Structure 1
Amino acid sequence: MSLRVEALSVSMPGGPVLSGVSLALNRGEIVGLTGSSGAGKSVIADAIAGALPAGAVLSGRITIDGAAAGHGSIALAPQLLGALDPLARVGTQIDRFARLAGRRVDLHSALADVGLPQGAARKFPHELSGGMARRVLLATALATGAEWIVADEPTVGLDDEAAGRIMSLLAELAASGRGVIVISHDLIRLAEIASHILIMHDGQPVETAPASAFMATEQRLHHAFSRALWQAQPGTRFTC
């Protein structure tokens, strides 16, 4: 099975914010998406997951095996921790997402799948660490039963250890057969788990490169912006 985004463009009431975005993803694969702040990465996430705000105008195609992506086939783990309901316990929120998708969830398995202790089900969001809250967001996405997951900035604000655990979890989700799109400024970790990475700048795709191009000792990126983005990462340099 494959998910394809073709010539995706999005306009808001103030004008166009995204144009000409294309990517392809197979089950069992991770595709990364990175770029400058304000490049439209979260807009892409919302568009793919069918979560664009009212007033947004979308053009292009989002398909799964050639057919239009149906409601509930793609789930979003959003960037903002505020997406969690502050008045509901974690277990209630995971169960709510499952029921909205017409499913029943085994809460024990739902927590275990994202590496959370069973006691987390009784906690409110404000009682969670940042890393735990990010795992809850993933758990709510997985509770829908969607085979395609979009994780928007899943490591933002986390320390190195917590960020590493989240990226490892996303790699495990792909290894289990899901297709995963990971949006992240953490380009070093992203290149470690993704098959290829789409680079965005000012609402436009700049380059789609295999992850190996970032990890190579010789410069294998074609666009100057891609090279600058990689070289801005701590400890990275190409050999000229």
Structure 2
Amino acid sequence: MLEVSKLSIRFTRFDRRLRQVHTEMIHNLHLSISSGEILAVVGSSGSGKSLLAHAILGILPSNAQVSGDIYFKGEALTPASQRRLRGKEIALIPQSVQYLDPLMRVGEQVRQSVRQGDPAVLQRKAFNKYDLAEYVAKWFPFQLSGGMARKILISTATVSGARLLIADEPTPGLDDLAMTETLSRFRQKAEEGCAVMLITHDVEAALTVADRIAVLYAGTVVEIALRSDFTADGEMLRHPYTKALWKALPSQQFAAIPGVQPAPAALPKGCVFAPRCSLATSECEEFAPEPRKLRHGEVRCLHAT
């Protein structure tokens, strides 16, 4: 359904001396999602998760330069095709509730997203699934709580009939019941033949529903693993960062590693994780590893076995 190949994104800005400065935020990124699959994209803040979503939809700011290829159903995405598919075949559940139109009642916003079927019926069904009272349809966004606004955004995407859903941090602000319902709804959409990209920093939530997990670190996908690889002490995982991420969960060892994720303007020359990696060698510091297949997954690490 979706294939991203060699994607790089950089931004141009002017510094205090009015000199152009180029900062690359995503580097040579590869991933794919099949029909009927949920791919979770996980990573810490600043790793490039939302930028990836915006690049697929073609909604990056004007100072962004994008290289590489993005294919949807085998068709290369261009600015023209992105405009044609956006909100129809490809739908975004955005991270910020500010994407809601502040001047339009929320029920109307959901109904406008319907492409097939009775908009009023589908809007009522969506509200019922997410425990939203019917009178909420007449409210404006400023009248909603944060959790209610997020439910409206999810409703808008799920009634659209899109074949690719990109959910950017869809669960913050939701109670446990609503979060479980939302994730199960994504599972249902996948079983209906959709492809779902679930962008989240909540690894444990992702593992309840995703088929595969793509791990981002400093703008690079360092590993793509099966959900079943996240088990025991993480011996089935391939990349040192993924193993550290797994062991840092409260349900595991709650163990931290030294150092911090590097800033985009201060990336190391070789492997982006080398400064924090106990396995790093001089070769890691000089050369950025290419992605390679390993044990039914993918990894960027010279030492992964």
TM class by shorter chain equals 0.7 to 0.9
Determine if the alignment matches structure 1 residue 68 to structure 2 residue 76: yes
Determine if the alignment matches structure 1 residue 202 to structure 2 residue 218: yes
Over 4 Å off, 4+ runs = 102-105
Determine if the alignment matches structure 1 residue 107 to structure 2 residue 107: no
Distance 2:145 2:182 in 1: 13
Distance 2:63 2:118 in 1: 34
Cα root mean square deviation, aligned: 2.2
Distance 1:138 1:234 in 2: 28
Opposite residue 4 of structure 2, the aligned amino acid is V
Determine if the alignment matches structure 1 residue 187 to structure 2 residue 203: yes
Q: Which protein is bigger by CA-based radius of gyration?
A: 2
Opposite residue 191 of structure 1, the aligned amino acid is L
Q: Retained in 1: the 8 A contact 2:234–2:246?
A: no
Opposite residue 174 of structure 1, the aligned amino acid is A
Distance 1:169 1:129 in 2: 21
1:214 deviates by: 1.3
Q: Which position in structure 2 is the counterpart of 1:229?
A: 245
Distance 2:5 2:66 in 1: 12
Indicate which of 21, 42, 48 corresponds to 1:40.
48
Q: 1:190 to 1:221 in 2, by over 3 A?
A: same
Q: 1:105 to 1:20 in 2, by over 3 A?
A: farther
Distance 1:136 1:179 in 2: 21
Distance 1:82 1:198 in 2: 27
5 Å-filtered alignment, 1:40-59, equals 40-59=48-67
Q: Retained in 2: the 8 A contact 1:111–1:139?
A: no
Q: Which position in structure 2 is the counterpart of 1:10?
A: 9
Q: 1:140 to 1:229 in 2, by over 3 A?
A: same
Q: SS of 1:95's equivalent?
A: helix
1:111 deviates by: 4.2
**TM-score normalized by structure 1?**
0.87
Q: 1:59 to 1:190 in 2, by over 3 A?
A: same
Q: Which runs of 5+ in 2 are unaligned?
A: 13-21, 255-305
Q: 1:107 to 1:232 in 2, by over 3 A?
A: farther
Q: 1:61 to 1:191 in 2, by over 3 A?
A: same
Distance 2:56 2:118 in 1: 24
Q: Select between 225-234 and 185-194 the one with higher mean Cα deviation.
A: 225-234
Listed one character per residue, the Cα deviations across residues 18-43 of structure 1 (whole Å, up to 9, x for unaligned) are 01211111122100000121000000
Opposite residue 30 of structure 2, the aligned amino acid is S
Opposite residue 228 of structure 1, the aligned amino acid is A
Opposite residue 123 of structure 2, the aligned amino acid is A
Q: Which runs of 5+ in 1 are unaligned?
A: none
Q: Which position in structure 2 is the counterpart of 1:30?
A: 38
Distance 2:243 2:234 in 1: 11
Determine if the alignment matches structure 1 residue 154 to structure 2 residue 154: no
Distance 1:131 1:162 in 2: 9
Determine if the alignment matches structure 1 residue 94 to structure 2 residue 110: yes
Distance 1:166 1:129 in 2: 17
Distance 2:116 2:9 in 1: 31
Opposite residue 43 of structure 1, the aligned amino acid is L
Opposite residue 110 of structure 1, the aligned amino acid is Q
Distance 2:66 2:149 in 1: 30
